[in-house]
């Protein structure tokens, strides 16, 4: 890795420097200023003790931060992870080693905190591969035409739909969300304060949409919350009549029938012609529930990037789909303590795993980036091998490891950070 320019230095951020630090990051991302409500929320959520600033002399020219998250992994465990965020350098100081210096200091700090994993979402994905982050989850967006599809209604509990103020309904919605987190790798527990992100509705950021609305699916007898959807509508019309657009922000449910009922509601709102949602898992049930899958216009994009900071700890803490006993030869040019051969063994689901350094011959060879890509079970080692990114040394080892790493449930990050 290229060393940084001698005039640049990295240090922790002081709390009173937050405004200037945040403005530098806004400039690094094109200069647009956040809405006051958005800015205030990011101020409240910033963990100042995890924020770094890179300076040219005494002048801030970039920075980065991290959140102390907990993330679901295959097998149902929820592990501490560093959520890397707000990474930026002023355009005047690009290609001088500032980003490398920030990433070096940050990963050392993450390791010092005992976190085995770091994760991020990338504004420009090519940047982070060289620091060992692998593309681990994919998000799927949908556009659907109202009136051209119906939603199959599987058997399940009866529900009553009720409109509610999104903020007033937030505690109940968050309780339901929390119960879903261990069921899907990549989902994040929401620490105190993060629930506000789901209902952040700054008027200046609505883009012509209505204020956010919330529909609750409840047990008609006891009133228990079974699911919810948050959405907004942008009014429009054409020569054929009303043509409003429904922007769906969140849909979560504790039962397939409730999920289907909420989508049937969203696809039948008056004065609208189009329904969109920005992020759902690639194995989302809606694909199988609609009457005509050709009417779904999908948009697939990268989601979460994963970096193993401590190979042994990260691999021992996730679950395994099948038994395995393989020696992984890992290269890691940025965190050399991970480089070497690791014997990974597990008896299968629910039994734990052992990952220890070994001098035994390698069964598979791969970079830390590919190990991160496969970690949550959404990208298979077999697919990476077909791309020439994983080398099988012992015949049969690739199939064995690929099956064990896989997850029956596609990993997914429901919101950015």
Neighbours of 100 (CB within 10 A): 17
Determine contact, residues 277/263, Cβ cutoff 8 Å.
no
Residue 302 is inside which H or E element, if any?
strand 297-302
Residue 117 forms beta bridges with which residues?
Answer: 308
CA dihedral angle for residue 411, residue 415, residue 416, residue 417, rounded to 10 degrees: -110
What are the C-alpha distances in Å from 35 to residues 26, 50, 80, 83, 196?
12, 24, 30, 23, 15
Strand bridging mode 213-218 / 354-357 = unpaired
Which tokens in the block code for residue 317?
């803490």
Active-site residue set: 128, 417
CA distances from 257 to 11, 260, 285, 300, 368 (A): 52, 5, 10, 25, 41
Hey, what's the torsion of the CAs at 191, 192, 195, 196, to 10 degrees? -130
User: Is 292:152 a contact under the CB 8 Å cutoff?
Assistant: no
> Coil, strand, or helix at residue 285?
coil
Q: Are 83 and 66 in contact (CB under 8 A)?
A: yes
Q: Contact, 82 vs 113, CB < 8 A?
A: yes
Show the tokens assigned to 359. Answer: 């001098």
- What is the residue-wise DSSP string for 180-192? HGGGSTT-B---T
> Do residues 255 and 226 lie in contact, with contact meaning Cβ atoms separated by under 8 Å?
yes
Q: How far is it, in rounded angstroms, from Cα 258 to Cα 254? A: 7
């Amino acid at each position: 890795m290229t060393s940084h320019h001698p005039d640049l230095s990295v240090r922790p951020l002081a709390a009173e420097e937050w405004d200037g630090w945040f403005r530098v990051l806004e400039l690094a991302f094109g200069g647009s200023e956040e809405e006051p409500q958005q800015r205030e929320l990011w101020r409240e959520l910033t963990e100042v003790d995890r924020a770094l600033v890179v300076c040219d002399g005494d002048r801030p020219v970039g920075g980065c931060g991290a959140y102390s998250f907990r993330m679901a992994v295959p097998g149902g465990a929820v592990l501490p992870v560093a959520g890397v965020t707000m990474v930026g350098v002023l355009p005047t100081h690009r290609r001088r080693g500032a980003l490398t210096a920030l990433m070096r200091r940050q990963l050392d700090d993450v390791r010092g905190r005992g976190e085995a994993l770091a994760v991020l979402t990338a504004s420009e994905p090519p940047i982070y591969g060289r620091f060992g982050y692998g593309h681990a989850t994919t998000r799927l967006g949908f556009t659907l035409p109202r009136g051209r599809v119906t939603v199959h209604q599987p058997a399940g509990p009866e529900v009553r739909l009720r409109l509610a103020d999104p903020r007033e309904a937030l505690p109940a919605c968050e309780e339901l969300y929390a119960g879903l987190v261990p069921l899907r790798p990549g989902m994040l527990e929401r620490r105190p304060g993060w629930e506000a992100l789901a209902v952040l509705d700054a008027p200046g950021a609505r883009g012509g949409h209505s204020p956010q609305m919330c529909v609750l699916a409840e047990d008609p007898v006891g009133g228990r919350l079974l699911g919810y959807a948050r959405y907004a509508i942008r009014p429009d019309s054409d020569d054929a009549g009303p043509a409003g657009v429904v922007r769906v922000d969140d849909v979560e449910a504790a039962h397939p029938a409730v999920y289907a009922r909420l989508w049937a509601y969203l696809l039948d709102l008056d004065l609208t012609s189009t329904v969109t949602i920005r992020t759902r898992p690639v194995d989302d049930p809606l694909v199988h529930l609609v009457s005509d899958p050709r009417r779904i216009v999908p948009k697939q994009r990268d989601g979460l990037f994963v970096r193993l900071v401590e190979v042994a700890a990260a691999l021992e803490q996730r679950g395994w789909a099948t038994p395995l006993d393989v020696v992984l030869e890992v290269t890691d040019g940025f965190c050399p303590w991970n480089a070497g051969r690791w014997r990974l063994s597990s008896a299968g689901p629910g039994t734990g795993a052992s990952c220890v350094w070994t001098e035994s011959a390698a069964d598979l060879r791969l970079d830390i980036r590919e190990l991160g890509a496969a970690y949550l079970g959404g990208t298979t080692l077999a697919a990476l091998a077909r791309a020439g990114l994983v080398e099988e040394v012992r015949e049969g080892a690739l199939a064995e490891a690929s099956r064990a790493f896989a997850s029956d449930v596609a990993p997914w990050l429901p919101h950015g950070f």
